[in-house]
Amino acid sequence: MPTLRLVLGDHLSRDVAALDGLDAAGDVVLMVEVAAETTYVPHHKQKIVFILAAMRHFAEALRQEGIRVDYVRLDDPANSGSFTGELTRALARHAVDRIVVTEPGEWRVRAMMEDWAAATGLSVEIREDDRFFCRRGRFARWADGRKSFRMEFFYREMRRETGLLMEGDQPVGGQWNYDAENRKTLPKGARPPLRLRFAPDAVTRGVMDLVNTRFAGHFGDLEPFGWAVTRADALKALDHFIAEALPAFGDVQDAMKRGEPFLYHGLVSPYLNVGLLTAREVCLAAETAWRRGAAPLNAVEGFIRQILGWREYVRGIYWHQMPGYAETNALAAARPLPWFYWSGETDLACLAEVVGDTRRNAYAHHIQRLMVAGNFALLAGIRPAEVEAWYLAVYVDAFDWVELPNVHGMVMFADGGLLASKPYAASGAYIDRMSDYCAGCTYDPKVKVGKGACPFNLLYWNFIAENAGTLRGNPRMAMPYRTWEGMESGRKAQILTEARAFLDGLDARPAASRGRQTMLDL
Ligand SMILES: Cc1cc2nc3c(=O)[nH]c(=O)nc-3n(C[C@H](O)[C@H](O)[C@H](O)COP(=O)(O)OP(=O)(O)OC[C@H]3O[C@@H](n4cnc5c(N)ncnc54)[C@H](O)[C@@H]3O)c2cc1C
Ligand code: SF4
């Protein structure tokens, strides 16, 4: 009897585990576009187009190989709207005796799959996703017994195991990490390369029309849509990055500039996350550029560390800690997400720029996500679950396994320091140093309190004061606490009063949006 092989929208690799051992003549590959997955947060329109268009192109490539593909479109009138419903309907169309699927990137969907054997009466094989450098069991062996995890130690083990940037058992260049060289500001007159954009073909246009009618109320601009939706185009995007941007990636990795959303970043996360590119080929392409002298070591090591280190590390934490991980709230943050995260209507120029970039491109680079949008949410004490839902909705590369640890652990410190040793909290001085945002702002990053004071300055000290019970004992927070405790009491009181007044004004929403708590209520 043939096998039904379910391929999900982020499993678009020809060598994904569910397709191992495929009998092209007999088996059926099932791919389904389901409403439940497109609407449980109001995903950016470009994110929906990216995933559905990449799925449709992948299905067509399988058909070209002579593989039998059963593809259910979102607008199929009989579409039940859920994975379980579509699996059940497919079983009525095909006589199969087992179901094979690769494990999903989300705990919620994994739990759903566990019920399928009982629901269908068939054997359901959930195969491990082997597209990562670090298998789940390998991560568990590293993590078990540790009280807290640190990416750097995990990363060194991954370097040794993969041989990437290694000479024997030593790191090339004699150092594991060149981060100290990667915090420069953008030189005056720097001209970041224009990025390859891929004009939508007829298939992608069809999806854009569908999204335009069906998801008009979702966050973000639909056009211009320039993401690659095939492996061939994703490879072109990778080549372009390696040739044009990688050489400068390291130096100014943390810099931000108005009107330059991409700078020298890779723009490869969506392709990695849905399977159009593999992590190994992306890292090897960067390493090869260094070996032939086309990119410096600080850039290449920094880039590989993001993928071999951070990407694998957060995935390991996700599966090791879920489902309880998402429930913690170490700093008891409880404020609702301000409306400007959706509208971009704020007089804080840095946030207006980052939300604007996000709306236009479904993309913001790491420091924009961490030190502007994330830093504000942390300092303002926004409820972690609302912040997580926002990040999951607005970025083209957002999938639960990678978004949740980054937001819950790295940004919100909601895990109490399991993922990162201290909160990434910063005042306006950091944003001023690393960007040109402040020059166009009504506030002044150098003013700490009183008229024109940058809200990040007020909120930083308010955060330090409010969380003293939890953070005072953290050795990495000793310096800010010493500064705060040494501050004159009248000044401290003024900072706290102004910070609280600012926070109290935050929820004020424009008239058009009053009554809606978040875009999730749309
Ligand atoms: C609050 C927050 C939320 C994030 N949410 C996501 C998300 O939903 N999906 C996602 O793929 N990345 C996420 N990241 C990580 C990172 O910001 C993006 O991977 C990166 O901005 C993607 O753009 P790029 O390809 O140009 O990356 P580059 O800057 O060129 O980096 C290269 C690659 O390294 C990997 N990478 C870098 N940092 C991380 C990280 N912290 N975790 C995992 N992978 C990393 C990505 O695959 C990325 O493509 C998040 C980071 C923060 C701080
Ligand atoms: S002054 Fe403060 S609020 Fe304004 S852009 Fe700079 S950091 Fe952001």
pLDDT computed for residue 512 by the predictor: 52
The tokens for 127 are 């195969």
Pocket test for ligand 2, best of 367, 441, 461 (most atoms within 8 A of CB): 441
- What does DSSP say about strands 170-171 and 166-167: parallel, antiparallel, or unpaired? antiparallel
Q: Quick one: which atom of ligand 2 is closest to the CA of 431?
A: 7
Q: How confident is the model at residue 508 (pLDDT cuts 50, 70, 90)?
A: very low
Q: Residue 426 CA: which ligand is closest? A: 2
Name the burial class of residue 65, with classes exposed (0-12), middle (13-18) and buried (19+) by CB atoms within 10 angstroms of its CB: exposed
Using a pLDDT cut of 90, give the percent of the chain over it: 93
Name the burial class of residue 48, with classes exposed (0-12), middle (13-18) and buried (19+) by CB atoms within 10 angstroms of its CB: buried
Tokens 């399991």 found at:
418
Q: Angle between the 279-291 and 231-244 helix axes, to the nearest 10 degrees?
A: 30
Q: What pLDDT digit, counting tens, does each position of 339-371 carry?
A: 999 999 999 999 999 999 999 999 999 999 999
For the chain, first and last CA: distance in Å? 46
Instruction: With 0.85 as the threshold, say if the pTM is over it.
Output: yes
Q: Is it the case that residue 510 has pLDDT exceeding 60?
A: no
Using a pLDDT cut of 70, give the percent of the chain over it: 97
- The answer to whether the CB of 398 is under 6 A from ligand 1 is yes
Q: What pLDDT digit, counting tens, does each position of 7-19 carry?
A: 999 999 999 999 9
| CB contact at 8 A, 442 and 352 | no
- The answer to whether the CB of 262 is under 6 A from ligand 1 is no
Amino acid of residue 438: C
Q: What pLDDT digit, counting tens, does each position of 106-147 carry?
A: 999 999 999 999 999 999 999 999 999 999 999 999 999 887
Q: How confident is the model at residue 520 (pLDDT cuts 50, 70, 90)?
A: low
Pocket test for ligand 2, best of 434, 454, 457 (most atoms within 8 A of CB): 454
Q: Is it the case that residue 418 has pLDDT exceeding 70?
A: yes
Q: What pLDDT digit, counting tens, does each position of 187-232 carry?
A: 998 999 999 999 999 999 999 999 999 999 999 999 999 999 999 9
Q: Quick one: which atom of ligand 2 is closest to the CA of 351?
A: 8
- Residue 352 C-alpha to ligand 2 middle, in angstroms? 10
Q: Quick one: which atom of ligand 2 is closest to the CA of 445?
A: 1
Q: What pLDDT digit, counting tens, does each position of 444-489 carry?
A: 999 999 999 999 999 999 999 999 999 999 999 999 999 999 999 9
Indicate which residue's Cα is closest to atom 1 of ligand 1.
Answer: 407
Indicate which residue's Cα is closest to atom 38 of ligand 1.
Answer: 306
pLDDT computed for residue 277 by the predictor: 98
Q: Is it the case that residue 315 has pLDDT exceeding 90?
A: yes
| CB contact at 8 A, 142 and 317 | no
**Stretch (H or E) spanning 31:** strand 28-32
Mean pLDDT of 303-326: 97
Indicate which residue's Cα is closest to atom 6 of ligand 2.
Answer: 438
Sorted by sequence, the CB contacts under 8 Å of residue 488 that are 6+ apart come out as: none
**ω into 323 cis (within 30 of 0):** yes
CA torsion 11→13→15→16, rounded to 10°?
-10
Cα–Cα distance for residue pair 213/211, rounded to 1 Å: 5
- The answer to whether the CB of 358 is under 6 A from ligand 1 is no
DSSP codes of every residue in 312-349 = HHHHHHHHHHTTGGGG--TT---BPPPTHHHH---S-H
pLDDT computed for residue 509 by the predictor: 59
Q: What pLDDT digit, counting tens, does each position of 270-294 carry?
A: 999 999 999 999 999 999 999 999 9
- Residue 429 C-alpha to ligand 2 middle, in angstroms? 9
Residue 26: φ, ψ to 5°? -110, -40
Residue 228 CB coordination number (10 Å): 25
| CB contact at 8 A, 437 and 357 | no
Q: How confident is the model at residue 25 (pLDDT cuts 50, 70, 90)?
A: confident
The tokens for 46 are 């470009």
Question: What is the average pLDDT value for the chain, to the nearest integer?
Answer: 95
Q: Quick one: which atom of ligand 2 is closest to the CA of 444?
A: 1
- Residue 105 C-alpha to ligand 1 middle, in angstroms? 15
| CB contact at 8 A, 9 and 51 | yes
pLDDT computed for residue 97 by the predictor: 93
3-class DSSP assignment, residue 354: helix
- Residue 307 C-alpha to ligand 1 middle, in angstroms? 8
- Residue 367 C-alpha to ligand 2 middle, in angstroms? 15
Residue 233: φ, ψ to 5°? -75, -35
- Residue 4 C-alpha to ligand 1 middle, in angstroms? 33
The tokens for 474 are 């953290």
Pocket test for ligand 1, best of 244, 269, 301, 363 (most atoms within 8 A of CB): 269
Q: Is it the case that residue 332 has pLDDT exceeding 80?
A: yes
Identify the CA nearest to 495 among candidates 464, 470, 467, 474.
464
pLDDT computed for residue 519 by the predictor: 55
Indicate which residue's Cα is closest to atom 2 of ligand 2.
Answer: 454
Q: Quick one: which atom of ligand 1 is closest to the CA of 395?
A: 8
- Residue 440 C-alpha to ligand 2 middle, in angstroms? 9
* Ligand 2 proximal residues by C-beta, below 6 Å: 348-350, 428, 431-432, 437-438, 441, 443-445, 454-456
- Residue 315 C-alpha to ligand 1 middle, in angstroms? 12
Q: Residue 373 CA: which ligand is closest? A: 1
pLDDT computed for residue 390 by the predictor: 97
Indicate which residue's Cα is closest to atom 8 of ligand 2.
Answer: 350
The tokens for 308 are 């071999």
- The answer to whether the CB of 220 is under 6 A from ligand 1 is no
- The answer to whether the CB of 266 is under 6 A from ligand 1 is yes
Residues in the chain: 522
Q: Is it the case that residue 521 has pLDDT exceeding 60?
A: no
Q: How many Å separate Cα 290 from the centre of its chain?
A: 27
The tokens for 94 are 């095909």
Identify the CA nearest to 84 among candidates 109, 104, 55.
109
| CB contact at 8 A, 13 and 131 | yes
Q: Residue 252 CA: which ligand is closest? A: 1
Q: Quick one: which atom of ligand 1 is closest to the CA of 249?
A: 30
**Residue 171's beta-bridge partner residues?**
166
Residue 176 CB coordination number (10 Å): 18
- The answer to whether the CB of 410 is under 6 A from ligand 1 is yes
Mean pLDDT of 76-95: 96
Q: Is it the case that residue 516 has pLDDT exceeding 70?
A: no
Identify the CA nearest to 393 among candidates 95, 8, 47.
47
- Residue 502 C-alpha to ligand 2 middle, in angstroms? 14
